[in-house]
Structure 1
Amino acid sequence: MLNAWRDVDAPCGRVRAYVDGKVIRARGIRYARAQRFSRPVDEPRVDIIDGRHPSPGSPQHRRDPNAGMTFDQLGGLPTSEDCLRVSVTSPANTGDDVSALPVLVWIHGGAYVAGAGDAAIYDPHTLVEEQNIIVVSVTYRLGVLGFLGTGKPEHANLGFLDQISALRWVQRNIAAFGGDPHNVTIAGQSAGADACAHLMIAEATDSLFRRVILASAPLGLAGGTEPMNWAMAKVAEKIDPEASVDDVLAAQDEVHKAALVGGLHAGMCFGVHYGAYPLPAKSDAAAAWSEAARKYDVLMTRTEREIAFFAGFVPAFRRLHDRHLTSPMLESLISGITSAVYTRAAKEFYDRHRMSGGQGTRLLIVSRGDGSFFDAAHSGDLPLLFPGNIWHDSFLDYGQSAQIAGPELRNIWGRFATSGALPRVSVPGLIDILG
């Protein structure tokens, strides 16, 4: 029952939060405003903020045609360009413990074109309840609206700047919600993990966070290719800045077609741009990560068969899977592309981080052995971290095994966010320690 209210007097204003079972939610809090194709401006204090309603998602296609989800991953959320919002989920019963709680800031994935912080598939209530942490879910601008605009340099990285603005909001306000602004972990999956990695080397992020969780970061796609970026910008030049949202999304589809010259990079053609504020040039990125290594503890995870998530929607791949004699060929293909997109670049990132004095661990989410085509695929860890009924309609549903594997993975995340504890012992049937 959502009938118990708690007012939180924060620097952003008096927030009306509500009790939802064993957690308290304050949703849809505006952290910034932005005109189309403009940088975000931090939101000043207002008198009253109604925290009953979730943040809308950035405008997007309801079902990502590239991911082929079998359910609406927005969970019925509305979309709006006025989407620069955060939602805070905290434990309802903290007992007599008055110490500030660890804070985990969640940055959602979706190839920078899909998803939302308050999507039902990212509901953090179980993680918050079990691990006694606060989760702040961030919604930011996506696609053309967040990362390309009309192709002008000043239109790059707007969604990335949204995320930095949200982190500033956390520093100013989270203490009022019972959180510790000095104990903030940023965490993301897929494109969200890519964003977290780049927040480590962005200007104006010093002291905003101290730990980083990178889940299935597609670092092999980071930065794209110059021909792809040029082709995308040429098409984007034709976008009318005053066009309707539907027309902008239609133009975004045309931009994506132009990006196909980038090969695998077209799979995440929207995203951060090196050499545009607040990121260094690509040639300087490695040195910047080395310099930042001692500032941040890093927990990196990936799944064993990442690309199976995407291959499942390519008819030729499905036919190979259905013909058991060719399964080794399919698995070789999945393994090869997984390595190109996720494994090699992630290991390079991790090795550089450790050699530069940073603390970290790499984990592999292994096959659950049920023979499913989507076994240990990309996003297979999400139902374990954010369990809920919505996953029962998904091809990623772990069934009964989630009741065992889920608490193990959530405990790893919770301990890391709380104290920086890095797992050193594998979990049989779930996690291998890679280093």
Structure 2
Amino acid sequence: MNAWQNVDAPCGRVRTYVDGNVIRARGIRYARAQRFAHPVDEPPVDFIDGDEPGPANPQRRRDPNAGMTFDQLGGLPTSEDCLRVSVTTPLSAADHSSSLPVLVWIHGGAYVAGAGDAEIYDPHTLVEEQNIIVVSVTYRLGVLGYLGTGSSEHSNLGLLDQISALRWVQRNVAAFGGDPGNVTIAGQSAGADACAHLMIAEATDDLFHRVILASAPLGLAGGTEPMNWAMAKVAEKIDPESSVDEILAAQEEVHRAALVGGLHAGMCFGVHYGDYPLPAKSETDDAWSRAARRYDVLMTRTEREIAFFAGFVPAFRRLHSRRLTSPMLESLISGITSAVYTRASKEFYDRHRMAGGQGTRLLIVSRGDGSFFDAAHSGDLPLLFPGDVWHDSFLDYGAATAIAGPELRRIWGRFAGTGELPRVLVPGLIDILG
């Protein structure tokens, strides 16, 4: 990236950089936060150099899939001072006089891993093809973002970070050529869970207008009171002045306590109902019903979500290593996929439509190579964010990427641009479920 130009935005003068057919401004601070404290929106500054990606929230750098894939963060540094957004715009918007649709990307990673600027979420192709602006958000994770020392004021900090980032978008995206009145929030896995809860969070009115939920593990919500209690009891022992390494070690201990939650322990860090800005669990159905008419929703999932986790869930790993892929392992994959993803997502969708909301559900069914990891969780990411980083991954779609990728990106781009919901299936890739 050599060519650059300055953008005069409310946040300050931002130096952006040309990268092929897109323009990037990375690592822009949207807020600051003390440890275990609410974020404070960043005031305007004189100058921001958007050349470097923002750091990731501190996290364990290990591959949860038992060596079968890649380091999710690549070369990104980590820091508690991680509240950053990055803006990627089409080169055609270089004069910033346009008013393009905006997609705000909230990454997944079970609320303990990932970053908005991770290479696996590079929006270059999505932006170039669909002529939209993508804003990628990095937020706090794990103990630092959702639990603290177990007190209610330490809950939902990562969600509050995301709301702060959405306020930044409303104030600043027009300067980059985006339309603040046409904002779609999108997330995959834990990021989709976050987007669903942003729909019912306080202080989000008029911050976004459409929602994409990809592989939202909504079946892990609710029924978590014993797990949350066990986690909070361990978290009480955390010294707020501990080093980052000590915090991450304590997070491991908290996670072990969460194992009483069974399947829920798979995403034990996350939103807490009844703590600001979320309603009590008993009120969420009504809250989502009230929100339905305000937001069009596109929901997607993969056919064999749980196959992704075969590398590190002991029961799956034993069966997979013995090559017992059918029928025993397939039955296990189907059952847990239904419990975590399918049933709760169908209930969410049905409630949304019955309350007057518009929406569509998509099922990503195959990449066509007969792989055990075909149509697994995260299998849509290489299609949405293609790049060399996927080539050594078990999620690589290979030659099918050139066919399936543009179709899925087109669906996302049209929905973000106009709210158009897909009604025609894509043979061999997508079934329309609703």
TMscore range, shorter length: over 0.9
Unaligned ranges ≥5, structure 1: none
Q: What is the one-letter code of the residue matched to 1:50?
A: D
What is the match of residue 422 of structure 2? 423
Matched-pair contact (CA < 8 Å) for 2:54–2:84: yes
Deviates more, 1:350-359 or 1:321-330: 321-330
What is the match of residue 367 of structure 2? 368
Matched-pair contact (CA < 8 Å) for 1:374–1:396: yes
CA displacement at 1:368 relative to structure 2: 2.3
SS in structure 2 of the partner of residue 361 of structure 1: strand
What is the match of residue 17 of structure 1? 16
Cα distance in 2 for partners of 1:326, 1:20 equals: 43
Cα distance in 2 for partners of 1:283, 1:315 equals: 34
CA gap of 1:347–1:368, structure 2 versus 1, over 3 A, is same
Matching of residues 372-411 of structure 1 within 5 Å: 372-411=371-410
Matched-pair contact (CA < 8 Å) for 2:299–2:360: yes
Q: Does 1:166 align with 2:165?
A: yes
Cα distance in 1 for partners of 2:201, 2:34 equals: 22
Matching of residues 135-284 of structure 1 within 5 Å: 135-223=134-222, 225-284=224-283
Matched-pair contact (CA < 8 Å) for 1:223–1:273: no
Q: TM-score, normalised on structure 2?
A: 0.98
CA displacement at 1:223 relative to structure 2: 3.9
SS in structure 2 of the partner of residue 307 of structure 1: helix
What is the match of residue 412 of structure 1? 411
Cα distance in 1 for partners of 2:221, 2:268 equals: 9
Instruction: Tell me how many residue pairs correspond in the alignment.
Output: 434
CA displacement at 1:93 relative to structure 2: 2.0
For the aligned residue pairs, the C-alpha RMSD in angstroms reads 1.5
Cα distance in 1 for partners of 2:219, 2:94 equals: 45
Matching of residues 23-38 of structure 1 within 5 Å: 23-38=22-37
CA gap of 1:67–1:377, structure 2 versus 1, over 3 A, is farther
Deviates more, 1:86-95 or 1:168-177: 86-95
Identity %: 86
CA displacement at 1:239 relative to structure 2: 0.6
Cα distance in 1 for partners of 2:124, 2:83 equals: 21
Q: What is the one-letter code of the residue matched to 2:152?
A: P
Matching of residues 41-190 of structure 1 within 5 Å: 41-65=40-64, 70-94=69-93, 98-190=97-189
Cα distance in 2 for partners of 1:232, 1:252 equals: 9
What is the match of residue 359 of structure 1? 358
What is the match of residue 433 of structure 2? 434
Matched-pair contact (CA < 8 Å) for 1:211–1:298: yes
CA offsets 1:153-172 (integer angstroms, 9 cap, x no match): 10000011000000000000
Unaligned ranges ≥5, structure 2: none
What is the match of residue 40 of structure 1? 39
Q: What is the one-letter code of the residue matched to 1:51?
A: G
Matched-pair contact (CA < 8 Å) for 2:170–2:207: yes
Q: TM-score, normalised on structure 1?
A: 0.97
CA displacement at 1:371 relative to structure 2: 1.9
CA offsets 1:87-111 (integer angstroms, 9 cap, x no match): 0000012489954000000000000
CA displacement at 1:278 relative to structure 2: 0.3
Q: What is the one-letter code of the residue matched to 1:351?
A: D
Deviates more, 1:93-102 or 1:399-408: 93-102
Cα distance in 2 for partners of 1:289, 1:247 equals: 38
CA displacement at 1:6 relative to structure 2: 1.1
Cα distance in 2 for partners of 1:124, 1:370 equals: 25
CA offsets 1:361-392 (integer angstroms, 9 cap, x no match): 00000022322111100000000000000001
